[in-house]
C-alpha cells in the first residue's frame, strides 16, 4: 500500500492565480459573539476559485470560529457573509454544502473499519435497481472511488482495506478527493497538517495544490507559516479575533509571515524572561528589531 508520495511540497506552486474572477465566498466586516465573548470582529476575507487562502493565527485567535461561520455551523453576529455575491445566513452545514462549501474536519468523520471506497461514498451511496429491490451498486462505487483517487494522483493498492489502516495523511487525501468528486467549489481544511510529520504534511500540501488546480477555492487553516507559504496565494493572520494581516503572496515574505505569527513583541518578552533561566542560550534567539513585522493589514481580502 502506498500513496503517491513522490515530489516535494515545495514544487506545488502553480503560476499566477486567476485574479479577475469574482470571489465565491466573501466576508465583509464579519464577526461573531458567543454571549459576552467576542470571538471574531471586523473580518474581511475573499475566497477565489483556483486559489488557496491561508488563515493563520495562534490558539484562540478565532480560526475555528471563522470557518464555522463559512461552513454553516454558526451564524455571524455582525457584518456580511456573501456567497456568489449574495448575502447568506446558513443555519446548517447542509445549506453550505448545497452551495458547494465542503469542510474537512480534523477528525474526518470516517468509519475506521469500513473499506476506503465505502467511506468515499459514506452518506451518498450509489444504488441500482428500482425500489423495493434497490441495492448498493458496489462495483460502480469501487470503480468510481478508484478513478477519482487516481485523478487526484492518489494511488492506493487496495480500496478494500479499512480506512482506519491508512495513515493520517492518506485519510486527509481521501477526504480531499471526496470533496472534489462531490462537486465542492470551496474546500475548508481545519489544520490538516497539525498532527502529521514532515513527509505526510508534504503529501497533504500536494493534494491541497491539486484541489486548487482543479479550480477549487481552498481555505487552509494552519498554525504553520511554512506549510502556508508552500501552497498559499493569500495569507490572513488572525490575532485575538481580528484580522492582523491580509496579504497576497507578492506582498509578504515567509520571514514576515513567520514574524506575524510569532508576535515579535511577545517573543522579545519571552526572550527577556528566558534570559533569567539558567541553561537557556538566548543569544541563539532573534533580536527584537528583527521580529517587528512591517506589513500592515489591507482592508481588501486580496490585492
Residue 33 CB, nearest approach to ligand ATP (Å)? 9
State which residue, 162 or 263, has the beta carbon closest to Mg ion.
263
Query: Which of 3, 51, 53, 64 touches Mg ion by CB under 5 A?
Result: 64
What values do phi and psi take at 228, rounded to 5?
A: -60, -45
Rounded to the nearest whole angstrom, what is the least distance from the CB of residue 285 to ligand ATP in the complex?
23
Here's the x/- map for Mg ion, 20-59, by CB under 5 A: it reads as ----------------------------------------
Residue 43 CB, nearest distance to ligand ATP (Å)?
Answer: 11
Beta bridge partners of 242: 239
- Full DSSP string of 36-87: TEEEEEEEEEEE-TTEEEEEEE-TTSSHHHHHHHHTTSS--SEEEEEETTEE
Binding site for ligand ATP (CB under 6 A): 34, 37, 39, 57, 59-65
CB of 252 to ligand ATP, least distance (A): 20
**The entry of ligand ATP, Mg ion, none that residue 39 binds, CB within 5 to 8 Å by partner kind:** ligand ATP
The answer for residues whose C-beta is within 8 angstroms of residue 212's C-beta and 6 or more apart is 14, 50, 51, 52, 218, 231, 233
Instruction: Convert residues 143-182 into a mask of x (bound to Mg ion by CB under 5 A) and - (unbound).
Output: ----------------------------------------
Residues 211, 49: contact at Cβ < 8 Å? no
CB of 292 to Mg ion, least distance (A): 27
Its sign, for the CA torsion 180, 182, 188, 189, is negative
| Beta carbon nearer to ligand ATP, 101 or 166 | 101
Residues 6+ apart with CB under 8 A from 181: 120, 144, 148
Point out which residues bind Mg ion (CB under 5 A).
63-64
Amino acid at each position: 500500500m502506498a500513496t503517491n508520495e513522490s515530489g516535494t511540497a515545495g514544487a506545488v506552486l502553480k503560476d499566477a492565480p486567476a485574479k479577475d474572477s469574482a470571489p465565491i465566498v466573501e466576508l465583509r466586516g464579519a464577526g461573531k459573539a458567543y454571549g459576552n465573548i467576542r470571538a471574531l470582529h471586523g473580518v474581511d476575507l475573499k475566497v477565489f476559485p483556483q486559489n488557496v487562502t491561508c488563515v493563520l493565527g495562534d490558539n484562540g485567535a478565532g480560526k475555528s470560529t471563522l470557518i464555522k461561520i463559512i461552513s454553516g455551523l454558526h451564524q455571524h453576529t455582525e457584518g456580511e457573509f456573501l456567497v456568489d455575491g449574495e448575502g447568506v445566513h446558513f443555519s446548517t452545514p447542509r445549506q453550505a454544502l448545497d452551495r458547494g462549501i465542503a469542510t474537512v474536519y480534523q477528525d474526518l468523520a470516517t468509519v475506521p473499519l469500513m473499506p476506503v471506497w465505502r467511506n468515499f461514498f459514506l452518506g451518498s451511496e450509489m444504488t441500482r435497481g428500482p425500489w423495493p429491490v434497490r441495492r448498493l451498486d458496489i462495483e460502480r462505487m469501487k470503480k468510481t472511488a478508484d478513478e477519482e483517487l487516481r485523478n487526484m494522483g492518489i494511488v492506493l493498492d487496495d480500496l478494500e482495506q479499512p480506512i482506519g489502516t491508512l495513515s493520517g495523511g492518506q485519510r486527509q487525501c481521501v477526504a480531499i478527493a471526496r470533496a472534489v468528486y462531490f462537486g465542492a467549489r470551496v474546500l475548508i481544511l481545519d489544520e490538516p497538517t497539525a498532527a502529521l510529520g514532515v513527509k505526510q504534511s508534504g503529501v497533504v500540501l500536494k493534494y491541497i495544490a491539486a484541489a486548487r488546480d482543479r479550480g477549487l477555492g481552498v481555505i487552509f487553516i494552519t498554525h504553520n507559516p511554512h506549510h502556508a507559504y508552500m501552497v498559499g496565494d493569500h495569507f490572513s493572520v488572525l490575532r485575538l479575533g481580528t484580522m492582523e494581516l491580509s496579504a497576497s503572496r507578492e506582498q509578504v515574505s515567509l520571514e514576515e509571515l513567520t514574524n506575524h505569527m510569532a508576535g515579535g513583541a511577545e517573543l522579545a518578552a519571552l526572550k527577556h524572561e528566558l534570559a533569567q533561566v539558567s541553561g537557556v542560550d538566548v543569544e541563539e534567539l532573534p533580536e527584537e528589531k528583527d521580529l517587528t513585522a512591517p506589513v500592515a493589514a489591507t482592508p481588501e481580502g486580496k490585492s
